[in-house]
Structure 1
Amino acid sequence: MHPRQISERVSWLGVVDWDRRLFDSLIPLPDGTSYNAYLVQGSEKTALLDTVDPAMADTLMAQLRDVPKIDYIVSHHAEQDHSGTIPLVLEKFPQAKVVVTPKAKGMLIDLLRLPEDVFVSVEDNETLSLGDKTLKFIHTPWVHWPETMVSYLPEDRILFSCDFFGSHIATTDLFVTDEGRVFEAAKRYFAEIMMPFRAVIAKNLEKLSGLDMNVIAPSHGQIHRRPAFITDAYNEWVHATPRNLVVLPYVSMHGSTQAMVDHLVNALVVNGVRVELFNLVVTDIGKLAMALVDAGTIVVGTPTVLAGPHPLAAYAAFLANALRPKARYLSIVGSYGWGGKTVETLSGMIPNLKVEVLEPVLCKGMPKEDTFQALDNLADSITRKHQEQGFA
C-alpha cells in the first residue's frame, strides 16, 4: 500500500495485516490488524514516527524509497511490532537519531541491539523543532509498557498515540468510518492490554485532556477524526463503576457443572441481573476480557479434576487476576466426585483482585434440591450486593 496523506506534509505509512489471527502468541485477532507509522516533513527536518512489525518491513521500506532523508525516528514504544524495523530504517538513513524516553533507550538496546550513540532521550513535555512543525513528547507510562510516550503536533492538532486509543482492525479505510465496529475492537484492545493499568491510564488521560486535538492517529487500527469518541470511551472504561453484570466463565465435563450454571443464570436473570456466559472450551478470550471491563461479579464454574479446578477454569482465574478488572465480587460453583481443593486453589490464584468472595456452591455428583437452593441463595446475594453498590 502507498503512503496516504493525513494533512499537509503528514502521511500515514504502514501495513494492513489481513491474515494475522494471534498477537503475542496469546491475543486473538478476529479482524486482523495494522501497523501504522507516520511521516512528518517539516521545513527543515523530517521525522518518522514508529515503524512496523519486522514481518512487514519490506512494505515500509518500499514506502520510504522516495523519501530523501529522515532526521529522526520517534519510537513511542519499544515493543517490536512498532520498533522492530528501526534497524533497517537506520541502514537506509544512517544519519537519523532515534528519539525515545530515557527508559525506552535501555529497552531498545536490549531488544534490538542498537548502539547507544544513536539515541536522543527526551523528557516529559519536551519539544523537537522540525522547522515549521513541532513535535511535543508526552510521557504516558504503562500504556501499556513502562517506557511509552505519545507525540503531539500542534500545528496540525494531531496526537500520535501509538498503542493508546488503538484497535486491531484490518481495513482499507484510513479513518474511522464505522464507530460501532471500532468501539468493539477498541474495547477488546483496552481489555486485553490496558485494563491492568487503569490507575496510571487515568493520569495519562488527564495529561492529554488539555490538548487541542483534531485527529488521534494510533499505531494499530484506524485514525480518529472525532477524538472525543475514543477518549470518552476510555474515560468510561477507566472510571465508571461496574455494571449490574455477572461474567460467568465455566467448563463442564459430564453435565453436573452445566446444570448448576444453567440454574444460576436463570435465577440471576429472574432477579434482573444481566449475565454473560462463556463456555471455556470454545470461548474467544478477547470476548471474555471485554466482558470483564464491566463486570460487577465474576463467577467461575468448574468441575474438580485431580483434586483441583479444571485447567481451563484455572486459566480463566489466572487471566482475570492478570487483567485486574473492577469487579467487586467473586464466587465459584461446580461439582466433584470424591473431594478436592478447588475453592482453595482458585482463591489462591486471584491475589490481584480486590473482591469479596461470596459463598461458593459445590456439590458431589449431580446437583440435588439443596444445591439448587444454594444457587438461588447465591443469586439473591449477588443481586443484593449489586443493588447496595448501585450497579446499573
Structure 2
Amino acid sequence: MDQRKITERVFWLGAVDWDRRLFDALIPLPDGTSYNAYLVRGSEKTALLDTVDPPMAPKLLAQLDGAQDLDFIVSHHAEQDHSGTIPLVLERFPKAKVVCTPKAKGMLEDLLYLPENVFVTVDDGDTLSLGDRTLKFLHTPWVHWPETMVTYLPEEGILFSCDFFGSHIASSDLFVVDQGQVREAFKRYFAEIMMPFRAVIAKNLEKVKALDLRMIAPSHGQILDDPSWIIEAYRSWISNPPRNLVVLPFVSMHDSTRRMVDHFISALALQGVAVEPFNLTVADIGKLAMALVDAATLVVATPTVLAGPHPLAAYAAFVANALRPKAKLLSVIGSYGWGGKTVEMLSSMFFNLKVEVLDPVLCKGLPTYKDFEALDRLASTIASKHRENGFS
C-alpha cells in the first residue's frame, strides 16, 4: 500500500501481512497482521515512528521514495518487527537520528549493530519539537518489553502506542470500523502478549488515560478513532474479578481421560459453572489464552505418559504459567495405567500462579462409578468456591 493520510500532518506507512499465520514461531495469527509505521511532518522537522519487520522492508522503503529528508526515527520498541528495518532507513537517510529510551539504545546496539552516534535518548515525559508539531515520549516499561515507550502528539490528540492496544489483524481498513468484529483480535493480542504484565500495565494504563486522546495508532492492527472502548476493555481484562468459568485443556489417548472430561463438563454445568474445554490435539493456543483472561479456575486433564503428564498437557501448563492469568483455583484430572507422578509434575509447573490447588481426580484405567463421584465432588467444590468469592 502507499502512504495513507490520517490527518494533514500524519500518515500511515507500513505493511499489511495477509499471509502470516505464526508470530515468534509461537503465536497463531488466524487473521494475519500488520506492521504500522507513522510519518509525522512538522513545519521544521519530520519523524518516522517505528519501521516494519525486515521481510517487509521493501514496502516501507517504497513508501519513503520521494521523501526529501527524514530527521528522526522513533523506536518505541527494540523488537525486530518494529525496529528491524531501521538500518535500511538510515542508509537512505544517513543524517537521521534514532530516538529511543536509554534502555532501548543498548538493545538496539546489540540487535541491529547500530553505532552509538546515531542515537538520541529520551527520558519519560521528554518532548521533541518538529516545529508546529510536538512529540511527547512516555516510558511504558513492560508493555511488553522493559525498554518500550509510546509517543503522544498533543496537537492532534494521537497516541502512537506501539504494542499497547495492538491487535494482530490484516485489513484494508485503516481505522476500526466494527468494534464487535475486531474485539476478539484485540483480546487475543492482550491475552498472548500483555497478560503476563497485568500489574505494570495497569499503571501505564493510568498514565495514558490522563491524556486528551482522540485517536490511538498502534504498531499492529487498525487505528482506533474511538479510544474509550479499548481503554475500558483493557481495564476490565486487567482488573475485573475472574468469571464463573472453568478452563479445561485436555488430551486423551485411549478414551479414559476423555470420558472423565465429558462427565466433568456435565457436572460443572449442573452446578451452574461455565466451562470452556480445549482439546489440545487441535486447539488454537490463542483461544486458550483468551479464555484464561477471565477464568476463575483452571483444570488440566491428561493421561499419564512415561510416568508424567502427556507432553501436550505439559505445554498447556507451561503456557498458562507464563501468561499468569488471574485464576484462583487449580486442579488436575486424568488417568494412568500403573502409576506415575503426573500431579506432582504438573503442579510444579504453575509456580507463577497464586492459586488454591484442589484435590486431583485420577483413575486407573477406565473411570468407574467412584471416579465419576469424585469428579462430581470436585465440580461441587469449584461451584461453592466461585459462589463464596462472588465470581459471576
> 2:178 & 2:31 partners in 1: Cα distance?
14
Give secondary structure in 1 for the equivalent of 2:278.
strand
- Matched with 2:315 is 315
- Matched with 1:95 is 95
1:32-73 CA deviation, whole Å, 9 max, x = no partner? 000000000000000000000000000000000011111000
Give secondary structure in 2 for the equivalent of 1:302.
strand
CA deviation after TM superposition for structure 1 residue 180, in Å = 1.2
> 2:18 & 2:254 partners in 1: Cα distance?
39
CA deviation after TM superposition for structure 1 residue 144, in Å = 0.4
CA deviation after TM superposition for structure 1 residue 259, in Å = 0.4
What are the equivalent positions in structure 2 for 1:139-178 lying under 5 Å apart? 139-178=139-178
- Matched with 1:28 is 28
Does residue 234 of structure 2 align to residue 234 of structure 1? yes
- Matched with 1:130 is 130
What are the equivalent positions in structure 2 for 1:29-48 lying under 5 Å apart? 29-48=29-48
CA deviation after TM superposition for structure 1 residue 128, in Å = 0.3
Give secondary structure in 2 for the equivalent of 1:128.
strand
CA deviation after TM superposition for structure 1 residue 314, in Å = 0.3
Give secondary structure in 2 for the equivalent of 1:252.
coil
> 1:308 & 1:97 partners in 2: Cα distance?
54
> 2:373 & 2:167 partners in 1: Cα distance?
44
CA deviation after TM superposition for structure 1 residue 299, in Å = 0.3
What are the equivalent positions in structure 2 for 1:186-335 lying under 5 Å apart? 186-335=186-335
> 1:388 & 1:106 partners in 2: Cα distance?
49
CA deviation after TM superposition for structure 1 residue 221, in Å = 0.3
> 1:122 & 1:181 partners in 2: Cα distance?
37
1:304-361 CA deviation, whole Å, 9 max, x = no partner? 0000000000000000010000000000000000000000000111100100000000
- Matched with 2:6 is 6
TM-score (norm 1): 1.00
1:175-204 CA deviation, whole Å, 9 max, x = no partner? 001211211001000000100000000000
Runs (4 or more) in structure 1 with deviation over 3 Å come to: none
Give secondary structure in 1 for the equivalent of 2:150.
strand
1:69-121 CA deviation, whole Å, 9 max, x = no partner? 11000000000000000000000100000000000000000000000110000
Give secondary structure in 1 for the equivalent of 2:12.
strand
Give secondary structure in 2 for the equivalent of 1:217.
strand
Does residue 82 of structure 2 align to residue 82 of structure 1? yes
Equivalent AA in structure 2 for residue 342 of structure 1: T
1:231-256 CA deviation, whole Å, 9 max, x = no partner? 11100101111000000000000000
CA deviation after TM superposition for structure 1 residue 264, in Å = 0.6
Equivalent AA in structure 2 for residue 387 of structure 1: R
- Mark the runs of 5 or more structure 2 residues left unpaired by the alignment: none
- Matched with 1:342 is 342
> 1:389 & 1:127 partners in 2: Cα distance?
46
> 1:114 & 1:295 partners in 2: Cα distance?
44
> 1:352 & 1:168 partners in 2: Cα distance?
26
- Matched with 1:112 is 112
- Matched with 2:65 is 65
1:136-172 CA deviation, whole Å, 9 max, x = no partner? 0000000100000000000000000010000011010
Give secondary structure in 1 for the equivalent of 2:6.
strand
Equivalent AA in structure 1 for residue 317 of structure 2: A
> 2:283 & 2:181 partners in 1: Cα distance?
20
> 2:78 & 2:236 partners in 1: Cα distance?
28
> 1:275 & 1:66 partners in 2: Cα distance?
56
Equivalent AA in structure 2 for residue 286 of structure 1: G
Give secondary structure in 2 for the equivalent of 1:248.
strand
Equivalent AA in structure 2 for residue 147 of structure 1: E
> 2:374 & 2:75 partners in 1: Cα distance?
55
Tell me the matched-pair count: 392
CA deviation after TM superposition for structure 1 residue 369, in Å = 0.7
Equivalent AA in structure 2 for residue 317 of structure 1: A
CA deviation after TM superposition for structure 1 residue 209, in Å = 1.2
> 1:391 & 1:349 partners in 2: Cα distance?
25
> 1:229 & 1:366 partners in 2: Cα distance?
49
> 1:182 & 1:216 partners in 2: Cα distance?
15
Give secondary structure in 1 for the equivalent of 2:277.
strand
Equivalent AA in structure 2 for residue 179 of structure 1: Q
> 1:89 & 1:305 partners in 2: Cα distance?
52
Identical-residue share of aligned pairs (%): 74
Give secondary structure in 1 for the equivalent of 2:243.
coil
> 2:120 & 2:356 partners in 1: Cα distance?
48
- Matched with 2:50 is 50
- Matched with 1:121 is 121
Give secondary structure in 1 for the equivalent of 2:372.
helix
- Matched with 2:17 is 17
TM-score (norm 2): 1.00
Give secondary structure in 2 for the equivalent of 1:333.
strand
Equivalent AA in structure 2 for residue 192 of structure 1: E
CA deviation after TM superposition for structure 1 residue 257, in Å = 0.3
